[in-house]
Amino acid sequence: MSEMTLVEAVNLALARAMEDDPDVVVLGEDVGINGGVFRATAGLQARFGPERVLDTPLAELLISGLCVGMAAQGLRPVGEIQFMGFLYPCIDQLVNHASRIRNRTQGRLTCPMVLRTPHGAGIRAPEHHSESTEAMLAHIPGLRVVIPSSPERAYRLLLAAIRDPDPVVFLEPTRIYRAAKGEVEDNGEALPLDVAFVLREGRDVTLISWGAMLKETMAAADALAVDGIAAEVVDLATLKPYDEVTVLGSVTKTGRCVIVHEATRTGGFGAEIAALIAERSLTSLLAPVARVTGYDTVIPMARLEQHMMPSVDRIVTAARKACQFS
């Protein structure tokens, strides 16, 4: 067991998956000799050869479409899109093909592919490099959308995604690629998909988040604890399909819920969770469900981006307000 960063855990999972299964193919721009712009694929080409670790032309639609063709042939392609802002040319392939080829052909063809991309703001990157449009992907039937929040979960959820018989979009929280460190044992064991993780138990308020935003959410839980408020923190991890049981179970227990995401508010995934709680657990609520989200604006460039993203203070304020509601 060794301590590593989240991006190193991604690399470890890719290497493990390629070692275990000769059908696993990694493809994308700069994934080969360069090891990916974030080094997520570092060393893989030297180890597994250029046929299985493939530098593609600069064409995102192509990368996702190649994955569909390869997957229909029984390969396990793992495509990399360098930043989420460049994922949009892939949407046609994800919506019209990857997510529905099983259904269209009634199971005759399937699509066990993974499309990985860095997700989210906070790294002072240029325009179009800080997107967090996960709700758009989570709206697509037949797809899985997974966001890890620690090196351990990155390693085990990516292994699960690669082994899954259906297409998975794997969103890697850019802001904590290197900031998140932890022990990971390279034993090839996967975590289940479609399952939320309770990172911290508490009786007073449920804080739900995913990806990099869990860093602030956990810090908020610490701050609330000082005030004697015991926050339960849920890492949703898989957004499509998401773990309704854990969400409802936690909210039923605490009676209060704050959903935290850096993506813009309108139509964000927080709205889905709030609606679920309203439909299924209204009577257990002691306060309105609150959302702490990015604002309904384009994610600003470096100088203002921290003002767009939920801060620990905003989360703490929302949770306190929920706890004081009567």
Check binding of 28 to other proteins (CB under 8 A). Answer: no
Q: Give the 3-state secondary structure of residue 54.
A: strand
* Cis? peptide before 241, omega within 30° of 0: yes
Q: Which C-beta is closer to other proteins: that of 105 or that of 297? A: 105
Check binding of 284 to other proteins (CB under 8 A). Answer: no
Q: Which C-beta is closer to other proteins: that of 79 or that of 151? A: 79
- Least distance in angstroms from the C-beta of 27 to other proteins: 9
Q: Which C-beta is closer to other proteins: that of 195 or that of 286? A: 195
Q: CB burial class (10 A; 0-12, 13-18, 19+) of residue 318?
A: buried
Write out the catalytic residue numbers. 129
* Residue whose tokens read 């309105």: 288
Q: Which C-beta is closer to other proteins: that of 64 or that of 133? A: 64
Size of the site for other proteins (CB under 8 A): 47
Stretch that binds other proteins, among 222-230, 239-247, 250-258, 307-315 (CB under 8 A): 239-247
Q: Which of 30, 186, 244, 272 binds other proteins (CB under 8 A)?
A: 244
Check binding of 75 to other proteins (CB under 8 A). Answer: yes
- Least distance in angstroms from the C-beta of 218 to other proteins: 26
At residue 261, φ and ψ (nearest 5 deg) are -145, 150
Pick from 33, 19, 95: nearest CA to 64? 95
| End-to-end Cα distance, the chain | 48
Check binding of 251 to other proteins (CB under 8 A). Answer: no
Check binding of 104 to other proteins (CB under 8 A). Answer: yes
Integer Cα distance of 313 and 300 in angstroms: 20
Q: Which of 141, 201, 227, 304 binds other proteins (CB under 8 A)?
A: 141
- Strands 205-209 and 2-5, bridge-based pairing: unpaired
Q: Tell me 41's DSSP state.
A: T
Integer Cα distance of 89 and 61 in angstroms: 5
- Least distance in angstroms from the C-beta of 220 to other proteins: 27
Q: What is the 3-state secondary structure (H, E, C) of 60-118?
A: HHHHHHHHHHHHHCCCEEEEECCCHHHCHHHHHHHHHHHCCHHHHCCCCCCCCCEEEEE
Q: Which C-beta is closer to other proteins: that of 35 or that of 65? A: 65
Integer Cα distance of 24 and 217 in angstroms: 35
- Least distance in angstroms from the C-beta of 280 to other proteins: 9
Integer Cα distance of 290 and 296 in angstroms: 16
Integer Cα distance of 304 and 49 in angstroms: 42
Check binding of 46 to other proteins (CB under 8 A). Answer: no
Pick from 85, 80, 193, 65: nearest CA to 133? 85
Integer Cα distance of 216 and 289 in angstroms: 19
Check binding of 61 to other proteins (CB under 8 A). Answer: yes
- Least distance in angstroms from the C-beta of 244 to other proteins: 6
Check binding of 303 to other proteins (CB under 8 A). Answer: no
Contacts with other proteins, 186-205, as mask; x by CB under 8 A: --------x-----------
Check binding of 70 to other proteins (CB under 8 A). Answer: yes
- Signed CA dihedral, 318, 260, 83, 133: sign only: negative
- Least distance in angstroms from the C-beta of 275 to other proteins: 14
Q: Which of 6, 18, 72, 277 binds other proteins (CB under 8 A)?
A: 72
State the residues that interact with other proteins by CB under 8 A.
25, 51-52, 56-57, 59, 61-62, 64-75, 77, 89, 92-93, 96-97, 101-110, 141-142, 164-166, 194, 241-245
